[in-house]
Amino acid sequence: NYSSQSICCPVCLSVPLSLCLSLSVPLSLSVPLSLSVPLSLCPSLSLSVRPSLCPSLSLFFLSLSLSVSLSLSVSLSLSVRLSLSVRPLQYFGDVSKTVSELREKLEDLLKGECTKISTTVNIVDVLQPPEPKTRKQFLQYSCQLTLDPNTAYTHLSLSKGNRKVTNTGQVQPYPDHPDRFTNYCQVLCREGLSGRCYWEVEWSGDVYTAVSYKDISRTESDSLFGDNNKSWSLHYYSDGYCFRHNNVVTKVSGPQSSRVGVYLDHKAGTLSFYSVSDTMTLLHIVQTTFTQPLYPGFSLNGTAELVKL
């Protein structure tokens, strides 16, 4: 007989493994990475003793068997270190200098372009057509005007598509409106003029034909066309003509006619009134500087009509 005995001796072995990487880029970033693989060594030892089968020997043979279980534990640590490169202050000074130089170049370029534009504008002014002399030439600048009922004094009646105005002496059913004249029998056109324009008026009775800035007073005592610095008017009545501006009255001589022509060159600052019949006769001309668009209008105790040209 023989006896067999097993002896198990567990042994644990831990092997740490650390890996460190260093990476440098223009930015700071830390990324820890840990990897753990368990490693253990557990040998199993089995010892067996049995007698020798050889009768001549009183020996025992020792049989040893070893069983090994291996477990590996690995700890992996990854460290990434990034670095940020900072430009020296001199670098930013160089950038500022470059930007300043670029700005100066742009300013010089713009000044040159402005000079070219100014020269071009002056050439255009020189090339503008001359002032018209004949009615045919004036008609090239004719404009179609309509009266604005929101500005009409309550005794004024509009007709013919708001091209004719008559002082009826009777209150008309106009609604209240802040643009309405309340002190004088006046009305303005809808259209504001700022270029070269020509129009003609047929009139009868006592009539002022005028141009005015839109912001003329509608309620004050000096809101009559020609009695303020915002309007210019030619007054037609039975004894002749007179021109009015800023409450200054200038007597005007010329042939009587039921039709008057008005020519405006807003940019040149000229306003001309003509007596129109078979010929055109200059009655009065104004030379000034206009700062706003001008609105034709009438103040009347009679009838005025904008002629279709």
- Compute the average pLDDT of residues 27-45: 46
- Compute the average pLDDT of residues 225-232: 97
User: What is the identity of the amino acid at 119?
Assistant: T
- Compute the average pLDDT of residues 86-106: 71
Which residue has better confidence, 220 or 45? 220
Question: Residue 53: pLDDT band by 50, 70, 90 thresholds?
Answer: very low
pLDDT for 168:
96
Contact 297, 213 (CB under 8 A): no
pLDDT digits (tens, 9 = 90+) for 264-277: 999 999 999 999 99
Which residue has better confidence, 116 or 7? 116
| Average pLDDT value for the chain | 78
At residue 33, does pLDDT exceed 80? no
Question: Residue 56: pLDDT band by 50, 70, 90 thresholds?
Answer: very low
pLDDT for 115:
61
User: What is the identity of the amino acid at 31?
Assistant: V
Contact 150, 176 (CB under 8 A): no
- Compute the average pLDDT of residues 211-231: 96
pLDDT for 261:
97
Domain chopping of the chain, boundaries: 135-307
DSSP string for 164-189: EEEE-SS---PPP-TT--SSSSEEEB
pLDDT for 227:
96
pLDDT for 86:
56
- Compute the average pLDDT of residues 68-89: 52
State whether the Cα torsion 243-249-254-255 is positive or negative.
positive
- Compute the average pLDDT of residues 55-60: 39
pLDDT for 118:
56
d(CA 290, CA 142): 20
pLDDT digits (tens, 9 = 90+) for 117-158: 655 554 444 566 788 889 999 999 999 999 999 999 999 999
pLDDT for 302:
96
Question: Residue 281: pLDDT band by 50, 70, 90 thresholds?
Answer: very high
Task: Determine the distance from the C-alpha atom of residue 79 to the mean position of all C-alpha atoms in its chain, rounded to a whole number.
Answer: 54
- Compute the average pLDDT of residues 198-205: 96
Give, as one character, the DSSP assignment of residue 130.
Answer: P
Q: Measure the CA dihedral 301/239/234/309, to 10°.
A: 80
pLDDT for 105:
80
Write out the CATH class of domain 135-307.
Answer: mainly beta
Contact 226, 210 (CB under 8 A): yes
pLDDT for 88:
63
